[in-house]
A and B are shown apart, each in its own frame.
Chain A
Amino acid sequence: AKERSAQPSAHSGTHAAAMSYDRAITVFSPDGHLFQVEYAMEAVKNGTTAVGVRGKGTVVLGVEKKSAAKLQEPRTMRKIMKLDRHVSLAFAGLVADARVLVNKARLECQSYRLTMEDSPTVEYVSRFIAQVQQRFTQRGGRRPFGISNLIAGFDADGTANLYQTDPTGSHTAWKALAIGRNAKSVREFLEENYAEHATAEEKGDVDAPIKLAVKALMEVVESGAKNIEIAYMKPGQPLKTLPADKVAAMCKEIEKQKEADKRKKKTKKTAK
């Protein structure tokens, strides 16, 4: 590994310090930043949006599909990947980095099954992915992975899980989360609407988590249904993609609902 000196440049100041401290991954800046990691987070923000929603009986992963070029074969599930029978992953950021990480995670899942004679918990898988991402921020002089992941699935005992990992190497559990482009506004939408959908699911609306994911994506995806990809998991069942026509139908319904709500608000206003 190349040794890079950590000496400040001739004109020291935070800007110049940023110049010399951001080259090597293994070097802290004077104010305690790992710039390469932060730049990796920026790469994530440039990636297409991904949304995850954890319901009680369903966990949903939704992604914004980039519209395919005319001559390109539209392949489904480029951004939602199966790690094991019971765990799936959606990411935001550099696609090629994701492939490397997914391969490692798939190998680890099978290795766990071989050694422990049991399926790994979703928490174990996300911890493993986080550890790999962390290793690339500390050792070897390699750059971090430019992706954040949403890892979703059901454990063998039926508990739903949704975890997020990011380029720093931390992993946290979430009820619902958005990553990638426009993540902030989608997250705000999810915060406002999660409770309502959770109670709807309790009352018997099995598709409530899926609806929430679709609604959240529709907030930021311009062209609507054809650029939304939804996949969901139920306990003991493998990952299932929602077929395109169903997604379109759901989007239409949601739009209708929105219009109806708008009209209600208008009539209320005029009534007053």
Chain B
Amino acid sequence: LDSPSCVMDRAFFTDPHSYFGTNPRKELEKQDAELMREISLTSATRFPLLKAPSMTKASAFPKLTDKGGQRYVSEANPAIKFSHGTTTLAFVFKGGVLVSVDSRASMGSYIGSGTVKKVIPIHKYLIGTMAGGAADCSFWERNLAMQCRLHELREGKRISVAAASKLLGNVVFQYRGYGLSMGTMIAGMDEKKGPALFYVDSDGTRLKGNLFSVGSGATYAYGILDNEYDPDMDEKAAVELGKRAIYHATHRDAYSGGTINTFVIRESTGYEQVFKGDMNELHYGQYAEEAAAEAAAEAGDAKVSMDES
């Protein structure tokens, strides 16, 4: 992969107006109408036995934004950088690395899927998360998995997390300006150096750290994480924290939701999914119970203190 195999017209990303012309919406509608005409024409004349599709108005196609027909939200309003509709988090703790993600894929205000697998296993001791463009993340991380396997075959030992994240970062940097959208975390276990966590994004940023959260819901997750994170937590506490942080993010962020998937990467056994639960079930189940219990405890305390005074 020395050079991109498909060269795109970058003008499309830097200045869509110039690409579309002065009135983008009319242009698109014209194109759509022409396409529909062509389809119905083709099927009628060439395949008379096929029923022509019912004529739908081009503008009935789901518009991803109501900003004049542009199809990429971030280009519609560059001041508001649309930060990858998702919440993913990962942190290093005593027992390894914990990774927790949601499972919603949104296209603007349309929920594309509620069951996206945002954790991509690279090998037994290394996983990557997905935020941003699903295709970009899954393709490049699978490509990274291939490179890691080759490394292992050539060198006879596992690739380090630092090197794996460096490979991904370098590749992504080559495509800088081509419109890749990825905010991923590479989390894993080194044979000698222990747990490691790197944040890699499509700008080419690569950061080593102990705690990261990526996505539109990251701020909500950070609120919970920064409050309760302790590098000496045991696994149970870490899983609970990862669950809770994602839950809070999915509760408040419109672009995060679905099921919460939590993984732990342990030194001895590699990665394992330790939790998979719908956030609504948590909301009305475990957390509702906890809130009720807390309220009861507080009421009990208040009563005791009232009796005393």
A residues whose Cβ falls under 8 Å from a Cβ of B: 115-118, 121, 124, 157
Known: A118-B160, A121-B155. 5 other contacts (CB 8 A): A116-B159, A116-B163, A117-B160, A117-B163, A157-B192
CB neighbours of A157 from chain B (8 A): 192
B161 to chain A minimum Cβ distance, whole angstroms, is 10
The residue in chain B whose Cβ has the minimal distance to the Cβ of A117 is B162
CA distance A128 to B300 in the complex (A): 73
A115 & B166 in contact (Cβ 8 Å cutoff): yes
Give B148-197 interface residues, CB cut-off 8 Å to A. Answer: 155, 159-160, 162-163, 166-167, 170, 192
B163 & A115 in contact (Cβ 8 Å cutoff): yes
Report the tally of A-B residue pairs with Cβ distances under 8 A: 19
Q: How large is the interface on B (under 10, 10 to 19, 20 to 34, 35 or more residues)?
A: under 10
The residue in chain B whose Cβ has the minimal distance to the Cβ of A157 is B192
Q: Tell me the interface secondary structure of chain B in the complex.
A: helix
A29 to chain B minimum Cβ distance, whole angstroms, is 32
The residue in chain A whose Cβ has the minimal distance to the Cβ of B162 is A117
CB neighbours of A118 from chain B (8 A): 160, 162-163
Q: Tell me the interface secondary structure of chain A in the complex.
A: loop
B191 to chain A minimum Cβ distance, whole angstroms, is 11
CB neighbours of B159 from chain A (8 A): 116
19 A-B pairs in the complex with CB atoms less than 8 angstroms apart = A115-B163, A115-B166, A115-B167, A115-B170, A116-B159, A116-B160, A116-B162, A116-B163, A116-B166, A117-B160, A117-B162, A117-B163, A117-B166, A118-B160, A118-B162, A118-B163, A121-B155, A124-B155, A157-B192
B195 to chain A minimum Cβ distance, whole angstroms, is 16
The residue in chain B whose Cβ has the minimal distance to the Cβ of A114 is B166
CA distance A118 to B162 in the complex (A): 9
The residue in chain A whose Cβ has the minimal distance to the Cβ of B151 is A116
CA distance A118 to B191 in the complex (A): 14
CA distance A124 to B157 in the complex (A): 12
The residue in chain B whose Cβ has the minimal distance to the Cβ of A127 is B154
